[in-house]
Amino acid sequence: MKYTIEDVAREAGVSITTVSRVINGNYPVKKETRERVEAAIKKLNFQPNPLARSLINKRTNSIGVVVPGLTNMFFTEVVHGIERIMRSRDYDVYISDSRGRADSEKRRINKFLERYVDGIVLIDPQTENMKNGFIEEVSKKIPVVCINGYHENVRTNFVLSDEEKGTKEALEHLISLGHKNIAFIRGESSYSYDIKENLYKEYMKNIGIEPIVITVQDGNNIDVVENTMRVLIELSSKYQLGKEITAFFACNDLMAVGVLNGCYELNLKVPDDIAIIGFDNIILSQMTNPKLTTVDQNMRLLGERAAQKLLDLIEDKNLYSDTDVIETKLIIRKST
């Protein structure tokens, strides 16, 4: 059904060696011969079998991307950035959803390894897999770039957004508005949450207010919106919202929308009774009412930078660890 290199060779009256050479352009071939081969390729619409090529080259021209949740638009945006770069270089990108679970992330990565992808991008990798050395192990075998999820003693490559600065600006914004009783909402296990929580606690300490940290499940799946809403409603029986808590810092926009929805259910006015600030600046944050104040992470750029770095690593085979940082930006809208 499909033609092979042999068919082309016969058609052009040369050896398969020669055909291979014109396909790859890696050896000199007489102009006339080359043209004959090219004509044959065109005539048969021949496409070299990538399986056979990869078996020899140890290169598949494909990369894997693992995300914690495809329903968080943050990740789809980052993935678009990655795809833009990779496609222009004729790489395929395979996307896999770990659903925010460390064991699943591990399995997804191993699958990619088995499939001989040329490199892997990990977006917001699970803390557990950073700590237990798994990601470092993988990084020894194959180029790896992590987007966010920084860990000090792990030798791999990072492209980070400056979440620290973003968090500080967000917190200071809230404080400048007169808020003291700020609650903090996070998901379970990622560095992005940890770093924000630490900063939050620090600020609260400085103001002399007892921190309130709320952890919701599966922070990167869109279901978290509903969950957060429910959590907020429960919270309203423990705290006097609008008084004991006047503002929420949510670790991502999904959770922030959850808080917003909860406020609506509880008949609390945003931002008059409760101020809300999110993180990421996913499109959803502009679709709410009021629109969300949030911290832009430049998701597209995050993806592009990571892809570029991965390509460099694949080409150089230089697996050493390295870190890039991308600026964040506070976007003040109507929820604060």
Partner DNA sequence: CTGAAAGCGCTTACAG
With CB under 8 A as the contact rule, the residue among 223, 296, 312, 322 that binds a second copy is 223
Binding status of residue 296 toward a second copy by CB under 8 A: no
Please, what's the b/e burial string for 101-132 (b: 16 or more CB within 10 A of its CB; e: otherwise)?
A: bbebbbebbeebeeeebbbbbbbbbbbbbbee
Binding status of residue 61 toward DNA by CB under 7 A: no
With CB under 8 A as the contact rule, the residue among 4, 20, 33, 50 that binds a second copy is 50
Check: CB of residue 222 under 8 Å from CB of residue 248.
Answer: no
Binding status of residue 30 toward DNA by CB under 7 A: yes
Q: Starting at the earlier edge strand, list the strands of the sheet with 119-123.
A: 92-97, 62-67, 119-123, 144-147, 157-161, 322-326
| Cα angle, residue 289 at apex, residues 288 and 292 outer, rounded to 5° | 60
Closest distance to a second copy from the beta carbon of 125 (Å):
20
Check: CB of residue 223 under 8 Å from CB of residue 70.
Answer: no
Q: Which is nearer to DNA, 56 or 176 (CB)?
A: 56
Binding status of residue 79 toward a second copy by CB under 8 A: yes
Binding map of a second copy across residues 130-149, x = CB under 8 A, - = no contact: -----------x--------
Chain residues that interact with DNA, rule: CB under 7 A = 2, 4-6, 14-18, 20-21, 23-24, 26-34, 46-49, 52-53, 55-57
Chain residues that interact with a second copy, rule: CB under 8 A = 1, 47, 49-52, 54-55, 60, 70-71, 73, 76-77, 79-80, 83, 92, 94-95, 97, 111, 114-116, 141, 222-223, 225-226, 257, 261, 264, 283-284, 286-287, 289
